[in-house]
Structure 1
């Protein structure tokens, strides 16, 4: 069979969408094809390297700082490029998908930065991929508005400072099946980056800003090097000055936590900072150490806060690393969604958010994430109290911090055990999130928390780990093992509860059975799926 004839354009294989021609221009599709040919082979090699490293962790049950890059860590002379003015003050960042309503609300929110998310907070339907790009273009052109089904109209503020956009493309593992080049799907990361950069880089420069990115699920400094090479090529290709791009890397994998300085070094001409997350980070720990014995078993996900000793080691090392190299350290997510009916729930949750943000500001972080506009003033007040008129606290070097390799994976330092309620919550949240994701929603309010794909990943991973590690929990006064049979029973009960809660008609109109079946597939299969979103993507319309 002969190889497909190379095309100068990436080929679209999808039903047409309104106004897609404004995004999928011939020039943009040619740019995607160029990115694909130059960089997808290296992407493939790095994905293979992930598998090799994971096998090594399974064999040794350990991780360490890399001896071959010690010279980078020991060289005190290098720094990342100075932050552009638009990213000098990042004390509050709001996150969310790029649907039309969220685009307006995030830009108007009062946050300094909006993480415009094509990754975990966005189900990668073709509509979301293309129209999300269009919404950003419309926002920059100030021609965006939205009217809700209830008749409420949303529009950008006519004056005043809007949040600076930092766009998050998809991770390297997910291909975009609706765009092909040379007979292969183009990686979703290149689609998201390429379309955004092609259409907006010059426009943003003219606005006094630039194309800024959050890089997700990075697992090594070699993956950071790939991104840096992409930035260099893209800037040259479109005639944008080198160093215009800025990237903040999410340290949300356990392997990346051991390579933070090297990641900043590889991106040093384009680096803006590092971010400390929770759910993807815990998911990565389970994924990599899932068959390494009981000492790596995590308790209920809500019991693992950022104050757990191994999480403190991770976040404090991140702050020290960033400030040593002149980069911003950005803290984790406040995911609470205010209740419209229960003021007491809101008061208690707001107090927890305030304490969390005060802790981050006190630890030296330069900013932090929130999921809802009502949390912006709370986070801002916490950082204002520490920063005052300063844009950041990068001068606080945290030289008191000394973290060993073993401390980053000292799961046993957390004195908490898995519980039956934790198992039930994992099943409940997993089914409810996956059902919404299959309908095209990536950011979903569940039990007053804004959940995204990382939530489902840690939920199903913990179920898998607890079964395979022989975990026991207390239920109805008895000690019972966590087994596939128990999980199936809990899942069946949850499905019945949802049917009762929603009513038969709404239940039938949803994707509940598919969500139930997929959760059990990725939680119970002997072969652990690297990402839940890979089999889930095959079910997306």
Structure 2
């Protein structure tokens, strides 16, 4: 265990995680002191933010309608403000590749030809202690251009020698999560501040020296207060390390329904550090169930049937593009999770679906898009090249034709479709298999030709809960499917933790009330006490 005493009246940071190779390069006294200062400044405000989220969720559950807040009227009406201009390396963002910050993924992503690599500590990382600190080492080595390794079978992974590597943008974990291996006064630190703070402390100046900067994706925001908290974190972090104010850039994932009603307010709070908004489609659907899943008029069909052309999804993405371009920010489209390299017929179908999706995004005004696999980068780039040409973006296309009302964002009934037996089984199977991988420390998992992460597991288990609640399927019928799928999982993978997986599914999908996130409970019950966890 490592201990450091922070200065200026802050507490003592204790490292409770098992020491690992090179951990001392990340968990330096200076870095721990920096985390302690961030914690001392924002611990109470973080709790206030979470309390406000719960209050708003209770209001929505009680029937108070969602709408554009009156408190933001002046911000939305003011045409004079814009976000900061694009920072170095973030002017052209037509293809962004995402993935966990492990060494192999990092090399492949940085070499992929994408403009941006989003290093994901949130949905694509199972937050074991080894993964959290190992991810920081990956980022440090990537910034230092010394990232590489050789696999057991002799395959080498190295960064290209040329300068044209993807720009690194880090997604820290959300405000609702904690890091139990780093504590102050026996209280765990905010996982958001840990992921942000360690990267910022070690890599911010290095990135500036390399002609880039400390850039971030902010997950799970719900309102302007969440954004204001992040903005104040940026201000203090820059001040403490002597980084010029306004150097940080942040792109916000609009992946919760409440945030969709406060897009302009969120950008306004971050305007000094703002870079854009992203359409996080799977978490958005998950949030819809969490927010309004108690209502029968918000029952969703199989997620495979809910395309981005559904009226309520189209309203959400059109409003995102209009909001971003009105304020000089990039609008980044949703994820293509397909995995090329399967059977030729499957590849052809996957490529056709991705091409159609990316062409739609580019034509709708998005400035870039997300992919999960390097094999999708060329196709996605072509879709945006055909619209953008030599321009780095299309922010000047303000989409004044878009007029979205609150009712449009909630027009779920017009999307049609009902749950199918195949959809029910698919959701059970994906949730169980992802839970098993996550408990073993894997956060991005190939399943059925797609890269699945925590966001798709969340929507899968939340849909099961919603369908049971509204009588689309019985709890007993789901349990029979669980029995069959757990047996299949154990037969295919003898090492699968079937008892833990089944229990996690019961808690996450079959409880009377829907847990806010499966990750919070599973992290405490499983990851903290496993190998590489708390000593």
TM class by shorter chain equals over 0.9
- Give yes or no for the alignment of 1:515 onto 2:501: yes
Q: Quote the Cα distance in structure 1 between the aligned partners of 2:521 and 2:476.
A: 22
Q: Deviations over 1:164-210 (max 9, x none)?
A: 00000001111000000132100100000000000011111111110
SS for the counterpart of 2:62 is helix
Question: Which residue number corresponds to residue 17 of structure 2?
Answer: 14
Verify the 8 A CA contact 1:339 1:448 in the aligned structure 2. no
Within 5 Å, give how 1:312-323 maps onto structure 2: 312-323=314-325
Q: Deviations over 1:303-358 (max 9, x none)?
A: 11111100000000000000000000000000001134x11100111011001000
Q: Quote the Cα distance in structure 2 between the aligned partners of 1:31 and 1:184.
A: 16
Verify the 8 A CA contact 2:358 2:383 in the aligned structure 1. yes
Q: Quote the Cα distance in structure 1 between the aligned partners of 2:250 and 2:99.
A: 18
Verify the 8 A CA contact 2:11 2:185 in the aligned structure 1. no
Verify the 8 A CA contact 1:442 1:453 in the aligned structure 2. yes
Q: Quote the Cα distance in structure 2 between the aligned partners of 1:123 and 1:537.
A: 9
Question: Which residue number corresponds to residue 404 of structure 1?
Answer: 405
Q: Quote the Cα distance in structure 1 between the aligned partners of 2:249 and 2:12.
A: 27
Q: Deviations over 1:204-232 (max 9, x none)?
A: 11111100000000011110000000000
Aligned with residue 144 of structure 1, among 136, 142, 147: 147
Question: Which residue number corresponds to residue 237 of structure 1?
Answer: 240
Question: Which residue number corresponds to residue 25 of structure 1?
Answer: 28
Question: Which residue number corresponds to residue 274 of structure 1?
Answer: 277
Verify the 8 A CA contact 1:8 1:30 in the aligned structure 2. no
Q: From the superposition, tell whether residues 330 and 98 of structure 1 become closer, same or farther in structure 2 (CA, over 3 Å).
A: same
Question: Which residue number corresponds to residue 474 of structure 1?
Answer: none
Return the offset for 1:497.
1.8
Question: Which residue number corresponds to residue 467 of structure 2?
Answer: 466
Question: Which residue number corresponds to residue 328 of structure 2?
Answer: 326
Verify the 8 A CA contact 2:365 2:399 in the aligned structure 1. yes
- Give yes or no for the alignment of 1:424 onto 2:415: no
Verify the 8 A CA contact 1:92 1:380 in the aligned structure 2. yes
Return the offset for 1:7.
6.0
Q: Quote the Cα distance in structure 1 between the aligned partners of 2:310 and 2:486.
A: 33
- Give yes or no for the alignment of 1:389 onto 2:390: yes
- Give yes or no for the alignment of 1:494 onto 2:485: yes
Q: Deviations over 1:348-384 (max 9, x none)?
A: 1101100100000000000000000000000000000
Q: Deviations over 1:14-71 (max 9, x none)?
A: 1111100000000000000111111121110110111110110011152000011100
Question: Which residue number corresponds to residue 157 of structure 2?
Answer: 154
SS for the counterpart of 1:121 is coil
Return the offset for 1:85.
2.8
Q: Quote the Cα distance in structure 1 between the aligned partners of 2:245 and 2:312.
A: 38
SS for the counterpart of 1:177 is strand
Aligned with residue 72 of structure 2, among 35, 48, 69: 69
Aligned with residue 250 of structure 2, among 247, 251, 254: 247
Q: Quote the Cα distance in structure 2 between the aligned partners of 1:448 and 1:211.
A: 33
Question: Which residue number corresponds to residue 380 of structure 2?
Answer: 379
Question: Which residue number corresponds to residue 478 of structure 1?
Answer: none
- Give yes or no for the alignment of 1:531 onto 2:521: no
SS for the counterpart of 1:60 is coil
Q: Deviations over 1:454-497 (max 9, x none)?
A: 111111111111111122xxxxxxxxxx1111111000011122
SS for the counterpart of 1:525 is coil
SS for the counterpart of 1:329 is strand
Q: Where does the alignment leave 5 or more consecutive residues of structure 1 unmatched?
A: 472-481
Bigger shift: 388-397 or 53-62? 53-62
- Give yes or no for the alignment of 1:78 onto 2:64: no
Question: Which residue number corresponds to residue 117 of structure 2?
Answer: 114
Question: Which residue number corresponds to residue 287 of structure 2?
Answer: 284
Question: Which residue number corresponds to residue 355 of structure 2?
Answer: 354
Q: Quote the Cα distance in structure 2 between the aligned partners of 1:130 and 1:165.
A: 17
Verify the 8 A CA contact 1:427 1:491 in the aligned structure 2. yes
Return the offset for 1:8.
4.5
Q: Quote the Cα distance in structure 2 between the aligned partners of 1:242 and 1:511.
A: 48
Verify the 8 A CA contact 2:299 2:466 in the aligned structure 1. yes
Question: Which residue number corresponds to residue 438 of structure 1?
Answer: 439
Question: Which residue number corresponds to residue 107 of structure 2?
Answer: 104
Q: Quote the Cα distance in structure 1 between the aligned partners of 2:93 and 2:194.
A: 27
Q: Quote the Cα distance in structure 1 between the aligned partners of 2:64 and 2:499.
A: 37
Verify the 8 A CA contact 2:10 2:40 in the aligned structure 1. no
Verify the 8 A CA contact 2:330 2:367 in the aligned structure 1. yes
Count, aligned residues: 521
Return the offset for 1:527.
2.6
Q: Quote the Cα distance in structure 2 between the aligned partners of 1:159 and 1:463.
A: 48
Question: Which residue number corresponds to residue 175 of structure 1?
Answer: 178
Verify the 8 A CA contact 1:426 1:459 in the aligned structure 2. yes
Aligned with residue 36 of structure 1, among 36, 39, 50: 39
Q: Quote the Cα distance in structure 2 between the aligned partners of 1:530 and 1:32.
A: 27
Question: Which residue number corresponds to residue 304 of structure 2?
Answer: 302
Question: Which residue number corresponds to residue 533 of structure 2?
Answer: none
Question: Which residue number corresponds to residue 477 of structure 1?
Answer: none
Verify the 8 A CA contact 2:490 2:496 in the aligned structure 1. no
Verify the 8 A CA contact 1:123 1:441 in the aligned structure 2. yes
Q: Quote the Cα distance in structure 2 between the aligned partners of 1:178 and 1:85.
A: 35
